[in-house]
A and B are shown apart, each in its own frame.
Chain A
Amino acid sequence: MISPVKIWRNQKKISSLRGSEGVIVSWTMIRVPPSGFSSQAPYPVALVQLQKSRIVCQLVDWDTKDLHSGQKVTLVIRRVIESPDDGVIPYGVKAKPV
């Protein structure tokens, strides 16, 4: 699932998304996470409308009052999943309420 080459390939896309502004279209609170995410649970995952596209990503630095459709967010770079055995830290984007 995670390989250093894949992470390297994703860097361009991730950096192009950094700082993008958007609004939450719909969301959920993941209470039973898949493997690699248990240290973060429970965490909200949202479908976010950006200027020209949409993205499914985790929320970060959130408060209960932010969990509703229409909430403005900005995309920031964060560590997304527990590191695999090879030690590469997988970074990705998360949405921070503003």
Chain B
Amino acid sequence: MEFARQVWTIVWKDIIVEARSRQIVAPVLVFAVLVLVIFNFALSPTSSNIPQLAPGVLWVSFTFAGVLSVNRSFVLENENGSILGLMLSPVSREALFTGKMLSNLIFIGAVELVTVPVFSVLFNQELFPPMLLVVLFLATSGFSAVGSIFAALAINTRFREIMLPLLMFPVVVPVIISAVKATEIILTSSPAGDMIKWLEMLVAFDLIFFLIAAVAFEYVIEE
């Protein structure tokens, strides 16, 4: 219980900071929509091929937007030296990591929840297939777990904006593969049997990445 309270305190702190500074969700959302616009011209989708192209377009947009969002969340801590405050606060490193991961999940999730209907309108799809919520939640959890540890790691380097995607994308590929496949099944209305397999894979990847990252986090932010 104590653990949950500590995690929530960190998440709430991030939400308040974001509500007052508006540094993450709004610009990242605009960026995600811009990626959709670029894809429109890059792929010139028609109504017949859109269900095949859509999962890729959506997840490329989320991956790029997600990496910006995750980066911001730690650059902010670093710029103001508040990472030291976090480290000095009487919470375990695991709680700190979980809190950071959840606030990243919330911010990226918020971007995704707006991007999906915008995408559907722009490409004439069903507005928001309900099953997509499950895929978004599971995939973004895994993405945030990998993103949070590597963002904490990348703030220790010069050129951190470019180092973060270089570190993170190769590792997060399994999550992206499963997310794209599950989304494809939803958007093409294929039989749901295969989708369960992909969702199970996503759960497995989430657990693996969360556990490894939570343990490794201690070594990343120590001084």
To the question of whether A and B form a pair in one complex, the answer is no
Residues of A within 8 A of B (CB): none
Residues of B within 8 A of A (CB): none
